[in-house]
Amino acid sequence: NAGVTQTPKFRVLKTGQSMTLLCAQDMNHEYMYWYRQDPGMGLRLIHYSVGEGTTAKGEVPDGYNVSRLKKQNFLLGLESAAPSQTSVYFCASNRVLSTDTQYFGPGTRLTVL
């Protein structure tokens, strides 16, 4: 099993550009999450999904959109990137309970110039 994978690993954007981050899991997990990690800030939840076709806002959802069209994939979109969105983005998933052990992807390092 690959576990949780993220694409791409690195990306540099200019202000105003858009992009989509892809998260895929092969563990048949119901719950999926997108976090951002900034120096000294820990992980903050952006959006999450409790199942295929559902999404919900987390702590810091502004400027991001998500979609979960297939159970194994969770997409994070930035429609108009801003320098404040420079961060490392992590995807995670778990089985059923929202606070069961979470399995994390390797992260995407995004820089917005």
Summarize as ranges the residues that interact with another protein (CB under 8 A): 4, 33, 35, 40-45, 48, 56, 58, 90, 92, 98-99, 101-107
CB nearer to another protein: give 82 or 96.
Answer: 96
In terms of Cα–Cα distance, which of 16, 34, 25 is closest to 87? Answer: 34
In the complex, the smallest distance separating the C-beta of residue 11 from another protein, rounded to whole angstroms, is 15
CB nearer to another protein: give 13 or 90.
Answer: 90
Q: If phi over 0 gives left and psi between -120 and 50 gives alpha, with beta otherwise, what is residue 16?
A: left
Helix or strand (DSSP H, E) at 75: strand 73-78
In the complex, the smallest distance separating the C-beta of residue 80 from another protein, rounded to whole angstroms, is 26
CB nearer to another protein: give 61 or 77.
Answer: 61
In the complex, the smallest distance separating the C-beta of residue 15 from another protein, rounded to whole angstroms, is 25
Three-class DSSP category at 55: coil
Q: Is the peptide bond before 8 cis (omega within 30 degrees of 0)?
A: yes
Q: How many CB atoms lie within 10 A of CB 91?
A: 29
Three-class DSSP category at 105: coil
In the complex, the smallest distance separating the C-beta of residue 100 from another protein, rounded to whole angstroms, is 8
CB nearer to another protein: give 53 or 106.
Answer: 106
